[in-house]
Structure 1
Amino acid sequence: MNRYPLEIFWSAEDAGFIAEAPDLPGCSAWGKTETAAARAAQRAISAWIEAAQGAKREIPEPSTLAPLANYSGRFVVRVPRSLHAQLARHARQEGISLNQYVLHRLSAGG
């Protein structure tokens, strides 16, 4: 098995899961399930490496992801005052804290 990290996501357009190896440009695979996509991605990674070797291109080392324990769940973002005010107003209208509102918006993708 290759040690390259994968990003796996659902694609409505493809009606299946896409697994991408971000370290290897253009290397991705499709599967009906996340597991199938991950297995197909392993084959795609092998093919990508084989093609790169044949073309005498450089093959990047697999990146490593920091363990979840390395993240506190807290970060600071500076925003324009107008955006801060707008977010605070929306949070107040929803009857929740600004932190809860921003978390909800981030989780929802916008």
Structure 2
Amino acid sequence: MQSDHYTYRVTWSPEDGEYVGLCTEFPSLSWLADSPDAALQGVRRLVADAVADMEAAGEDVPVPLAEKHYTGEFRVRIPPELHRDLAIQAAEQRVSLNRLVSAKLASTPK
């Protein structure tokens, strides 16, 4: 498994007064450093070590999110009242409920 295929992020940690490197597929791992580059390098080394340890122990290594197959479908449960409101909005806009909800999700700030 190539650890450089994982999803990495660097952000500022006000609590620590340093940058923190994170890996989405390994939420329990992080690396603090004085610069964003050092935080990224540190967490990447940490993940590579964790992957090597897991492989040596015969454990399942997480699949990188970028390498997973996504169908574009998922189910979500909502209260009946919200379902009704969304169905009404879709009918008024003359679009399917799926198209309405997709558009709302796409316009959500990331």
Cα displacement (A) at 1:27: 2.1
SS of 1:64 mapped into structure 2? helix
Tell me which residue corresponds to 2:23. Answer: 21
Letter aligned with residue 2 of structure 1: D
Cα displacement (A) at 1:38: 0.5
Letter aligned with residue 14 of structure 1: D
| Count of aligned residue pairs for this structure pair | 73
- Distance in 2 of aligned mates of 1:75 and 1:39: 37
Cα displacement (A) at 1:31: 1.4
Q: Percent identity?
A: 18
Instruction: Please point out which of 50, 53, 62 is paired with 2:52.
Output: 50
Cα displacement (A) at 1:54: 3.0
Higher relative contact order (CA 8 A, sep 6+): 2
Mapping of 1:5-16 within 5 angstroms?
5-16=7-18
Structure 2: 5+ residue runs without aligned partners? 68-101
Per-residue CA deviations over 1:23-46 (Å, capped at 9, x if unaligned) read 124122111111110111111111
Whether 1:76 and 2:104 are equivalent positions in the alignment is yes
Cα displacement (A) at 1:20: 1.0
Q: Are the equivalent residues in 1 in contact too, given 2:9–2:40 (CA < 8 A)? A: no
Tell me which residue corresponds to 1:40. Answer: 42
Per-residue CA deviations over 1:31-69 (Å, capped at 9, x if unaligned) read 11111101111111111112212332100121129xxxx
Structure 1: 5+ residue runs without aligned partners? 66-73, 78-102
TM-score by length of 2: 0.54
Moved over 2 A (4+): none
Q: Are the equivalent residues in 2 in contact too, given 1:27–1:45 (CA < 8 A)? A: yes
- Distance in 2 of aligned mates of 1:75 and 1:13: 36
Letter aligned with residue 7 of structure 2: P
Instruction: Please point out which of 64, 67, 72 is paired with 2:66.
Output: 64
